[in-house]
């Protein structure tokens, strides 16, 4: 879906102050769409992505990727770094592989490398991917999961239980950035966002740790999280004001915020 132009976009988020927590390079499209809708946007990255150096083992995995029936990409970062590795050894993609992306943003990255991936219709997470036919009927199949170091084991454990042989290719590590107390106060107290957008529970927990160390209150803020599982974790961390968009596509995030802002913007009569 094309981003509205400055002349055509309604200012449906006029005056809403929004704080983004993804790495800056991954926030450009959403930042532009929010600003065109009238929002005031700042960034405070709560996650750093560091590529993992290639090893002999990972090199063999990508060189022999044609031996896998299905290749699953867990995130846009996994898609970018994994597809780049694949392209190194396979200028012409191998045939008959089921390519799977956790969500549309991940699929969009893969498409830049000429990889057409299936995306779950139910939800952009492990549960959604496990509903896809390629992962439902996988007895005797070989599956590669391209991801960052660590993370949930639900996908691999479930696929193993269904009779698949599962391997990981871990292509990056996630780290908590270091922000000083002055930066934390500037972004959270002085900017005073009406909403903070998180793309994962890990990002939320990172910012919670940073804010606690800086003596800045975070738990009373309105937050947007990617789904029910992340919302449950947020509630366990004592957050009470939580929004969940239909998906993490920019249009769905903006639509969710518009519905909230129309009812709750300061000065609006009820």
pLDDT at 121: 86
pLDDT at 10: 65
Neighbours of 263 (CB within 10 A): 9
pLDDT at 1: 43
Q: Which residue has the tokens 């934390």?
A: 184
Q: How far apart are CA 252 and CA 1, in angstroms?
A: 11
Spacing of C-alpha 212 from chain mean position = 24
CB-based contact 61:169 (threshold 8 Å): yes
* Pairing, β 165-175 against β 142-148: parallel
Structure tokens belonging to residue 208 = 């919670």
List pLDDT tens digits, range 209-239: 999 999 999 999 999 998 888 999 999 999 9
pLDDT at 269: 53
CB-based contact 45:22 (threshold 8 Å): yes
Positions of the chain with pLDDT under 70: 1-10, 267-270
Q: Which domains does the chain have, with CATH numbers?
A: 17-47+177-264 (3.40.50.10090), 50-174 (3.40.50.10090)
CB-based contact 246:198 (threshold 8 Å): no
Structure tokens belonging to residue 259 = 């519905």
pLDDT at 242: 97
């Amino acid at each position: 879906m094309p981003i509205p132009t400055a002349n055509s976009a309604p200012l449906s988020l006029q005056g809403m102050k929004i704080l983004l927590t993804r790495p800056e390079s991954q926030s450009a499209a959403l930042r532009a769409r929010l600003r065109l809708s009238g929002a005031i946007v700042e960034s405070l990255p709560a996650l750093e992505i560091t590529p993992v150096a290639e090893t002999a083992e990972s090199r063999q995995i990508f060189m022999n990727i044609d031996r896998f029936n299905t290749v699953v990409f867990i995130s846009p970062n996994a898609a970018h770094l994994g597809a780049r590795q694949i392209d190194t050894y396979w200028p012409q993609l191998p045939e008959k592989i089921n390519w799977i992306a956790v969500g549309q943003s991940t699929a969009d990255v893969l498409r830049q490398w000429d990889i057409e991936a299936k995306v779950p219709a139910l939800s952009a997470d492990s549960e959604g991917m496990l509903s896809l036919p390629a992962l439902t009927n996988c007895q005797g199949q070989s599956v590669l999961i391209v991801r960052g170091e660590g993370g949930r084991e639900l996908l691999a454990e479930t696929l193993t239980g269904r009779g698949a042989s599962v391997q990981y290719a871990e292509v990056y590590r996630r780290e908590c950035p270091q922000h000083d107390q002055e930066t934390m106060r500037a972004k959270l107290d002085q900017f005073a966002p009406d909403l903070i957008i998180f793309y994962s529970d890990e990002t939320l927990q990172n910012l919670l740790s940073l804010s606690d160390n800086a003596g800045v209150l975070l738990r009373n803020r309105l937050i947007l999280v990617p789904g029910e599982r992340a919302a449950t974790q947020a509630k366990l961390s004592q957050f009470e004001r939580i929004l969940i968009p239909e998906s993490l596509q920019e249009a769905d995030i903006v639509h969710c915020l518009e519905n909230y802002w129309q009812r709750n913007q300061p000065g609006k009569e009820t």
